[in-house]
Amino acid sequence: MVTISSLPLVDFKSDLRSAKGTIRKRVLAFRLFRVAALILLDATSLILAWRFAAFYKTLSELPWTVQTPFELLILTVELGMIAFQGLYNVRIYHCNYRRLITTVSLSNLFLLLIAFFYESNLYISRSTFLLFWLLSLAFICTARFLVDAVTRKLCKLGVIRYSVFLITDAEEKESSIKLIEKENCYNLLGVTEASSLDRHNREGMLEFLYNQDIFEVFVSWNAIKKRLYISWYFLSAGITLRILPVEREVVPSKSILWMIGEVPCLTIPAPIIAGSDFWVKRCFDVFCTIILLLLLSPLYLIIALLIKLDSPGPIFFRQNRIGLHCKQFTIWKFRTMNTNAEKLLETLEAKNEIKDGILFKLKDDPRITRIGKFLRLYSLDELPQLFNVLLGEMSLVGPRPHSIRDVKRFQKNHYIRQEVLPGITGLWQVSGRSNIDNFEDGVKLDITYIENWSLWLDLKILLKTVKVVLQKTGAY
């Protein structure tokens, strides 16, 4: 057994907004080589398929069948869609042929539409595109099959070996080792007990794995309790967690199933919005924010004037909040309190209505001004945060950013919500707003949002936010 309790603490830092952010540098070269090889094979297959199809084309000589720029367009569209579908994922070592066939077929349909609009007055050879579609499927699938076959052969010969580690209970140790060795592509460097995942051992465990150049860890199902949190914890250190199965267990939603021989295992995706998801969400935020700023600019002027007339002090309230990856940023709001509000906070702590004391909420807060109460009632004080969204410090939808005072009181599992951009509104806000008096309940809602994120979910939350604000549900 490996003892890790005496190992020192290590701080692992990575940018989870990037699809490459959690890939360990020590294995990056191998994975980049694999991706480059797949892209090169796919590009070669597509060009060969197009040229064979063009060679047997009809007698019509059309620009889009003979010009090089159209071949570049083919590569851009086809490879782009293959990449978007995750078929160059460096963590997946076997091709998903069903998804590949669907992606290539849709790409060919899109190219046919482009060709039609490019030469709308000329005859488009349907036979050319039909032949290209069939040949591209045949060539790409054959190339991927050969890559998989060569990879499996190299694994059996021991040329390719992935260094892995096993964490398991004593009673499951032998069966877990046999299961890993059956795949014949892993180099099992060590085994330790489930206690290595305890809170006081966890940091030392990660440092040990890092120093041993291990980037995949197998864990038996019964050895891991807080599965979602532990999966995030390992991923943030650049280590993939593989969970070995047991019979009759209900697996979490969105788990990724994969095989060791004939036995299905799973990986629980960490609750983060990363890679292409991040940039889709970011583009949506910027587009909507620009429109909202243009439409709401007169309202900004009216609110600023009312604040000035109501009480002395600045129009805006600025405060340091904790955002993505626990980095500080300055949040902007319309001022709703007296200028000495921060100083009075300590005297009001005893009246806090949040049960666990992490956040501070007080229904009849004496620090709030007259116009401030109205602004809070309809959440108009949050409007300046659109500038935070434009600067990339916030998103329209996400977990709310908390003050330094609040974050200092976080427990370790609360920090999962800091791995995505904070939002102006979120699932917590449309599920009761200030009526939720327990921080743990709010965190569960934040995690639910992150796990189930989609652009459609953001739209639904934004629309529900309008309804909740107009009805003044749970506002104070």
Give per-10-residue mean pLDDT for the chain (476 aa).
39 34 48 82 90 67 57 85 78 72 87 70 67 90 87 72 81 81 76 79 80 79 69 73 60 53 56 71 92 92 92 90 90 88 68 61 77 88 94 92 85 79 88 65 82 85 87 62
pLDDT at position 389 is 95
CATH number of 162-267: 3.40.50.11060
Cα–Cα dist 267/257, whole Å: 7
**Helices 199-211 and 227-235, packing angle to 10 deg:** 40
pLDDT at position 228 is 67
pLDDT at position 77 is 87
- pTM, to two decimals: 0.49
pLDDT at position 83 is 85
Cα–Cα dist 19/313, whole Å: 45
Can you read off the two tokens belonging to residue 301?
């002027």
Place of tokens 């305890």: 198
Which sequence spans correspond to the domains of the chain?
A: 25-156, 162-267, 275-471
